[in-house]
Amino acid sequence: MTPDYTTTARHADSRRPARRTEHFVADVSETPLQVTDRVKDEAAPLSLWGEAWKNLRKQPLFLISAFLILVVVAVSVFPGMFSQIDPTSEACQLANSDAGPAAGHPLGFTQQGCDVYARVIFGTRSSVTVGLFTTIGVLLIGGILGAVAGYYGGWIDSVLARINDIFFALPLILGAIVMMQLPMFRTNKTVWTLVLILVIFGWPQIARITRGAVIEVRNADFVTAARSLGVSKFGALMRHVMPNSLAPIIVVATISLGTFIVAESTLSFLGIGLPPSVMSWGNDIQAAQASLRSNPMPLLYPAIALSITVLSFIMLGDALRDALDPKARKR
């Protein structure tokens, strides 16, 4: 590069004349000045949840999963609307054992001669109940412990974190097998005992997520601002920290609702979940496995119902995650 080019001398240097650069001014009519920092008032006000809903409405993933979940919930609340056939053992006729589809019985019969379609429909309730109430229980226990640990920190956090670790280290299935053998549970297996056991082993995950979310929010300026307004420490937790931590918790809770339904079926399949007298997909799959080779259909249909239900909860969680992504908030 020749020295001529290095016109690095700045304004003060008059020895080397500066390169001629024209002073360009854009036409003001083409570049109109706007009021500094004007409030845009064209669009209707939108809260974060409102904005998330606006995004969600357009997502096919959300629409499909929400539709499927609505169907599943409707089936579990009003199974009678979907099938008039009595699926209980008393109504089953052994004459129909392992029979294929027939008029009024579109999915055929089990080994016991029960209508598969009716059993799938009536089995929905116990699975959804277990999933829903386990999630509620897990949210209550895990949410409270996680929020307290994250918000107050210090020794409370240390103690709760160790307890959390202990429960986290126990595999759910193993823990459930052991717990279900305890005399108090062994003689008294219902949907609620199963919910209790799943909550005991399921809360650490939510506690961890809550703790992380709370820690992220508790140092935000708006929390400090609220505290210096005179809002109490607990008041700031309830009014500011928790609402802002909800998004990731909701996402994880939605996904784990699906996994709790799977856990219920797994335990029932292993014979340590719901008693055989309670209709559930897990029990039906377990009952059908004996005749798997000769007649796989009674096993297949509850398994499909289970998969669709679980999949739709997981898809809903994914869609929610996209819509509630905190990074998308700032724009």
Partner 1 sequence: MSASVDFQEAEYATERPLLEIKDLAIGFTTSNGEVNAVRNAHLTVMPGETVAIVGESGSGKSTTALAAIGLLPGNGRVAAGQILFDGEDISNASEKRMIELRGNSIGMVPQDPMSNLNPVWKIGDQVRETLKANGLPSGPDDVAKVLSQAGLPDAGSRAKQYPHEFSGGMRQRALIAIGLACQPRLLIADEPTSALDVTVQRQILDHLDKMTTELGTAVLLITHDLGLAAERADQVVVMYRGQVVESGPSLELLQNPQHPYTQRLVASAPSLASRRIQAAKELGVETDDMLAPSETGVVEPAKSDDVLQIQNLRKVFKLRSGLGKSTDFTAVDDISFNVKRGTTTAIVGESGSGKSTVAQMVLNLLTPTSGKIIFDGVDTSTLNSKELFAFRRRVQPIFQDPYGSLDPMYNIFRTIEEPLRTHKIGDKASREKKVRELLDQVALPQSTMQRYPNELSGGQRQRVAIARALALDPEVIICDEAVSALDVLVQAQVLNLLAELQSRLGLTYLFITHDLAVVRQIADRVCVMEKGKLVETGSTDDVFESPQQDYTRALLNAIPGAGLMLPPEMDVA
Q: Which residues bind partner 1 (CB under 8 A)?
A: 1, 4-8, 10-11, 17-26, 28, 30-31, 33-34, 36-37, 39-41, 43, 45-48, 51, 220-222, 224-231, 235, 240, 243-244, 329-331
- C-beta of residue 81 within 8 angstroms of C-beta of residue 98: no
Amino acid at 252: V
Q: Which is nearer to partner 1, 55 or 266 (CB)?
A: 55
State how far the Cα of 236 lies from the Cα of 143, in Å rounded to an integer: 16
Burial status of residue 66 (CB atoms within 10 A of its CB: 0-12, 13-18, 19 or more): middle
Task: Give the three-state DSSP class for 266.
Answer: helix
Residues 6+ apart with CB under 8 A from 201: 167, 170, 172, 175, 176
CB of 210 to partner 1, least distance (A): 16
Task: For residue 262, give both structure tokens.
Answer: 């799977």
The nearer residue to partner 1, 45 or 183, going by C-beta atoms, is 45
C-alpha–C-alpha distance, residues 177 and 255, integer Å: 23
Residue nearer to partner 1 on the CB measure, 38 or 293:
38
- In angstroms, the first-to-last Cα distance of the chain is 45
Contact 140, 202 (CB under 8 A): no
Give the amino acid at 231: V
DSSP code for 331: -
Choice between 47 and 187, CB closer to partner 1 = 47
- Nearest distance from C-beta of residue 233 to partner 1, angstroms: 11
What tokens appear for 180 in the block? Answer: 């279900």
CB of 90 or CB of 221, closer to partner 1: 221
| Shortest distance in whole angstroms from residue 42 CB to partner 1 | 11
Pick 251 or 263: Cβ nearer partner 1 = 251
Least distance in angstroms from the C-beta of 275 to partner 1: 45
Q: Closest approach of Cβ 323 to partner 1, in Å?
A: 12
Minimal distance, residue 316 CB to partner 1, in Å: 21
